[in-house]
Structure 1
Amino acid sequence: MSNTATRQLVLQFDENGDPVYPSVCSPEEFKARGLCIALPRPVVPIIFVPGIMGSNLRNIKNMRGAWTPPNSMLGGLSEAIDRWAQSPAKRQASMMPDVVEVDPTQLIKLPSDFPLLTEEEARRRGWGTVHWDSYGEFLIYLETQLNLPFLDTEINQFNKRALQPDWQTALDCTPDQLTQSPYQHWNPQQPEFEPLTKDEFDHFANCYYPTYAVGYNWLQSNDRSAHDLRDKILEIKSYYDRSQYFKFQKVILISHSMGGLVTRRCQQLPDMESLILGVVHGVMPTHGAPAVYRRLRAGTETNGGFDILGFFVAKVLGWSAADVTCVMAHSPGPLELLPNKQYNNQQPWLHLQAETHQGQKTIVSLPTSGDPYEEIYRQQHTWWRMVDESLIDPASLVPKETPDWTAWASYLKALNFAEQLHDQITTQGKPFHHNTFASYGADYGNTSQQSFGQLTWLAKDSTTHLSPEQLRDELELQESNNLGKLTVSLPSAPDKTIHFRISGKDIGGDGTVPDISGQAVDKTEYGLKQTFRMKGFNHQFSYQDQHVRQTTLYSIAKITKELDLVE
């Protein structure tokens, strides 16, 4: 073994996608060697699909940022202040689905000594399209762990190459260790847990795994975003097909949150089954989340009066129902996060409750038929309606498709797209790729990870006796505010007002997606290869959790088990 010093050459690619290692000439007396990373020829692109609000958006006409989440605490404060001064009309004008596009020019921050790609290459792969603070570290992690699974290029004294710690953890895991640290955090849910074998790891290591990020316009329907993702997959395949060095195999998709709906729809599209090797889902709202109803009705929630960070986040996402409705009511993508017909095993999740002076309770639970679209989302005049028509179009931007077209009609059009997408991915095709793994949050011990599993409008004061019909249909809304409180009255007794408040978070999850929706991937009829029911992380930053990352590596290696290498 030579003791001559080495210098790492940064991996780059020419116009055909072939690897090159640019260097400079040096004097003969300068003996440092150039170290190049020898890449396998079979290539399996890893495509990361972010969650809602995780893609940077800009205005199509002036190219100014329409949605560029801040990447620091100071930036977050500045953004919150800007949003504070932004009226619902201005917010709507800047965030209509048809006036924005993905912005690929945003922050990319690579380590100064990163040997696997340059910022130029990272931008070509779409890393600038996603929010860096949420996903940048994970993209670097994937690129490193998948292509440099060993600690170094040297052979140790045992004539074995030392593995990166997370890979060693994945390889050491056996069924009898699942109750021991660190595997107790994995908590696999499928009947039999299959260890990752050395042969499977060696098969995995035969390929090169360039990591891509595919941001998308999360205001538009996820069906449209799925078609955009398909186009990107075909573009990536074409890129490697031109290469003289690489041999394209298939792609692996990794999703976060709503990105799971995009990937599920994408894998149903023509020709995708032959190009997608497998899928890894993270914290996907499999059947939706009641938090969407809550935010449309009462703005973005915080965790109490001392939640200063949550307060600023709420100002950015939408502090009031007016801030939220003016964007979401026009946007199929966010509406597709509503609970669908399969949510909670088709059991009611929205409850109306009043109590008399004598303690008699009247409770109405919806939906009774399992169809929330008709029973909840399309309700226009009930006091507990999800969308207030007066808040839909403050900027008067809704185009009139017919002479009698209204803001409510515009909302129903977006809602129809959402219902169609839900039907497509659950009943009209294979709901999941056959080679799918998933992880989700089910944290019941951490109050900050509590989620909305069911919602109840609860009368704050005693009432005269109300029949279920009166409670559901006859009360009239008098006033509502951003704190999840409203005042109603009966037409027969207009002077007698009743004050309702909406319930708080009631079930474990990841702070956003409730366990009810996350664990839906465990259903045996879906046929997922393995699912991991986990805790200890926040929804937005789930891929920053070490155990989620370990299960992701395990899942990718297991997915490649089905790969027949094309030479």
Structure 2
Amino acid sequence: MQRLTKKCPKPIAIPIVFVPGMMGSRLRRSDNKALIWDTKMAFLLSTWAGSTGVERRKLLFGKSNEFFNSKFLEVDPSSYREFKGNVQFGTIRTKLARGWGGVLWGSYGEFLKWLDSDLQRNLPDFPIDCSNIHFEVWAHPYNWTDSNENAALGITDNDDGPRVNGLTDVVATAFAETTAKYQDVKDIKILKPIVITHSMGGLVARAYSVLGDGQDKVHTVIHGAMPTHGAPVAYKRMRGGFGGATETILGADAAEVTPMLANSPGGLQLLPNQYHKNKEGEKEWLKVTVETEGDIQNLPRSNPYEEIYGLRNSWLRLTNPEYINPLNPDIEGIWLDYIINLDIAQKFHGDLGEQGFHEPTNMFYCASKDQPSYDRIEWKAANVHKMSEKNKQIAKQLLSKRDLPLHDDGNGNLRFLLSQPEDLDKLEYLKDMDHLDRLDHLIQMAEMGSTMNNTEVDTLEVRLQGPNSAGDGTVHTGSGIDLSFPYTITSDSITKGKDEKEVAFSHQDAFTNTEVRKKIAKWISEIIVEETKN
């Protein structure tokens, strides 16, 4: 009833550009145009379900002797035939030209249509039937395996292919075409584009604003569910797999996930960076604990790239080098390639800086306990209470060091061998066994509680703990609450709806949520009020 008393504003046209998140764009090979990534169930089951690490790496990056190439994959923009059932018949070619066909339709299609057709009727500061408010909606799908800097600024012509457009090109096109469409409308005001992002897309838009000309070319940026300075869940997935219903498609263990993320500059840019803080504002997000003993280690103290991700022979490392490119025997070369990609990620975040945002920016995030997320990663020693006092001390010393475990199952379960070298030397028969047989035998002895010649052998079990924070199931609340800048930035938690019931949207489904759409409509409505008040 209140909206009926409000008046329509002066004529205004606003281009909107939507930037999807990680895995939110359809991808194909650049050479033969073979589809590589789409979320249609038949395609996922035939191409990705149950695939090995070797197969996953080949799909995303090519042959085992090939290093990452930014132009190996490109966006699959969809075809008229594929796309025609998604939008009104007379708008198909226009929507395809605006990038709509390149996003994952199941995740973002309804939101794009809402922006295009329903947003105008949901602006709280204006009547429902204002015909002089115009929205023109584009999407910017991109190669999410590549650095977000390239997704923002584009890639120039080179020997690997023609220029790849970035967000900078889409924003320029959106503004130019909107201007051309409405320039003859009397007294109309045409705004610079509003950019709306999901998840990783937020890093793309921030890069455009900080490293490109987005600060001048964009009116406002609205971020949704953005891993502002990375998300600890990325570490968990590379050490323990995805888990849940998605693991069959995205990877059930470290051996399946590592080839996808460790070879990808974009994937590595989702790790907690040098500015990351948890919800308490602490830098340390990786901890080692022992039952009843408290914390043994808390990392990083300063730089996670040096203290965690760049470690090759530490049990706390991000990745096993043998998983990165399984068919390539050149482990030294593989590790060097990985470090190069890691350096790209570190430099990207360093160039953005801790305060690298567009001015102004609005953000929303989920803070639901029903969507548990990783605010920190905890490795916990599980069986110390069963050990002798001597081995308890050995276990704690071992956990404070960086030695590799005896066994890592790729799902977050580690086993270390505890023994005194002088005791093992007494077991003469072990000297005749090869390395693996000797380790297997020692484990069997430990599990049986065996002692021989007063020799004690035991194993230490360390397990990756579950999620420990409110969030959206992927991004924890710390990505939204720890923001304090000397300019206009609004960060709101979508926690309660009109009926005061908790809003619990999952990360991937953020833009299907009614309260999220209301928040976006409110912010855009406020922009229109401000821009048309004189």
TM-score, structure 2 as length reference: 0.77
- Deviation per CA, 1:401-432: give whole Å up to 9, x if none: xxx961111111111111112222234xx522
Q: 1:387 to 1:111 in 2, by over 3 A?
A: closer
Q: Does 1:544 align with 2:517?
A: no
State the match for 2:161 in structure 1: none
- Deviation per CA, 1:27-51: give whole Å up to 9, x if none: xxxxxxxxxxxxx975321000001
Question: 2 CA distance for matches of 1:485 and 1:109?
Answer: 48
State the match for 2:377 in structure 1: 455
CA shift for structure 1 position 360: 4.3
State the match for 1:350 in structure 2: 286
AA aligned to 1:412 is: I
Q: Does 1:52 align with 2:22?
A: yes
* Residue 324 (structure 2) aligned to one of 380, 386, 392: 392
* Residue 93 (structure 1) aligned to one of 40, 55, 58: 58
* Residue 559 (structure 1) aligned to one of 515, 527, 534: 527
AA aligned to 1:500 is: V
AA aligned to 2:475 is: V
Q: 1:315 to 1:547 in 2, by over 3 A?
A: same
Q: Please say if residues 249 and 565 of structure 1, whose CA atoms lie closer than 8 Å, have aligned partners that are also in contact.
A: no
Q: How many positions carry a matched residue from both structures?
A: 449
CA shift for structure 1 position 440: 0.5
Q: Does 1:251 align with 2:216?
A: no
Question: 1 CA distance for matches of 2:52 and 2:505?
Answer: 33
Q: 1:270 to 1:283 in 2, by over 3 A?
A: closer
- Deviation per CA, 1:380-403: give whole Å up to 9, x if none: 1011211100001124399xxxxx
Corresponding residue SS for 1:556? helix
State the match for 2:239 in structure 1: 297
Question: 1 CA distance for matches of 2:253 and 2:409?
Answer: 8
Question: 1 CA distance for matches of 2:522 and 2:420?
Answer: 64
Q: Please say if residues 487 and 500 of structure 1, whose CA atoms lie closer than 8 Å, have aligned partners that are also in contact.
A: yes
State the match for 1:224 in structure 2: 150
- Deviation per CA, 1:221-250: give whole Å up to 9, x if none: 111111111122223334345556477531
Q: 1:198 to 1:110 in 2, by over 3 A?
A: same
Q: 1:474 to 1:545 in 2, by over 3 A?
A: closer
State the match for 2:174 in structure 1: 236
CA shift for structure 1 position 207: 4.2
Q: Which moved more, 1:117-126 or 1:97-106?
A: 97-106
Q: Which moved more, 1:371-380 or 1:491-500?
A: 491-500
CA shift for structure 1 position 378: 1.0
TM-score, structure 1 as length reference: 0.73
Q: What are the residue-to-residue correspondences of 1:156-555 with 2, within 5 Å?
A: 166-167=122-123, 171=124, 197-198=125-126, 206-227=132-153, 228-240=166-178, 242-243=180-181, 245=184, 248-302=190-244, 310=245, 313-340=246-273, 341-344=275-278, 345-355=281-291, 360-361=293-294, 363-367=296-300, 369-396=301-328, 406-427=333-354, 431-444=356-369, 446=370, 449-462=371-384, 463=387, 464-466=392-394, 470-490=398-418, 492=420, 495=442, 496-521=458-483, 523=484, 525=486, 527-529=488-490, 531-534=492-495, 535-555=503-523
Question: 1 CA distance for matches of 2:142 and 2:175?
Answer: 19
Q: CA RMSD in A?
A: 2.9
Q: Please say if residues 217 and 225 of structure 1, whose CA atoms lie closer than 8 Å, have aligned partners that are also in contact.
A: yes
- Deviation per CA, 1:42-99: give whole Å up to 9, x if none: 53210000010001100111101111112xxxx26x6245424533222111102521
AA aligned to 1:239 is: E
Q: 1:285 to 1:65 in 2, by over 3 A?
A: same
CA shift for structure 1 position 268: 1.7
AA aligned to 2:60 is: M
- Deviation per CA, 1:420-462: give whole Å up to 9, x if none: 12222234xx522222211100002x2xx11111111112212
Q: 1:109 to 1:554 in 2, by over 3 A?
A: farther
Which structure 1 segments of 5+ residues have no match?
Answer: 1-39, 150-165, 172-196, 303-309, 399-403
Corresponding residue SS for 2:48? helix
Q: Please say if residues 50 and 249 of structure 2, whose CA atoms lie closer than 8 Å, have aligned partners that are also in contact.
A: no
Question: 2 CA distance for matches of 1:95 and 1:391?
Answer: 15
Question: 1 CA distance for matches of 2:112 and 2:518?
Answer: 14
Question: 1 CA distance for matches of 2:486 and 2:373?
Answer: 26
State the match for 1:140 in structure 2: 113
Question: 2 CA distance for matches of 1:111 and 1:90?
Answer: 31
Question: 2 CA distance for matches of 1:408 and 1:231?
Answer: 35
State the match for 2:39 in structure 1: 69
CA shift for structure 1 position 323: 1.4
Q: 1:500 to 1:277 in 2, by over 3 A?
A: same
Q: 1:240 to 1:211 in 2, by over 3 A?
A: closer
CA shift for structure 1 position 362: 5.7
AA aligned to 1:62 is: N
Q: Which moved more, 1:529-538 or 1:551-560?
A: 529-538
- Deviation per CA, 1:174-202: give whole Å up to 9, x if none: xxxxxxxxxxxxxxxxxxxxxxx459x99
Q: Please say if residues 395 and 418 of structure 2, whose CA atoms lie closer than 8 Å, have aligned partners that are also in contact.
A: no
Q: Please say if residues 288 and 399 of structure 2, whose CA atoms lie closer than 8 Å, have aligned partners that are also in contact.
A: yes
- Deviation per CA, 1:317-367: give whole Å up to 9, x if none: 112211111121111111111112332234311111234xxx545621111
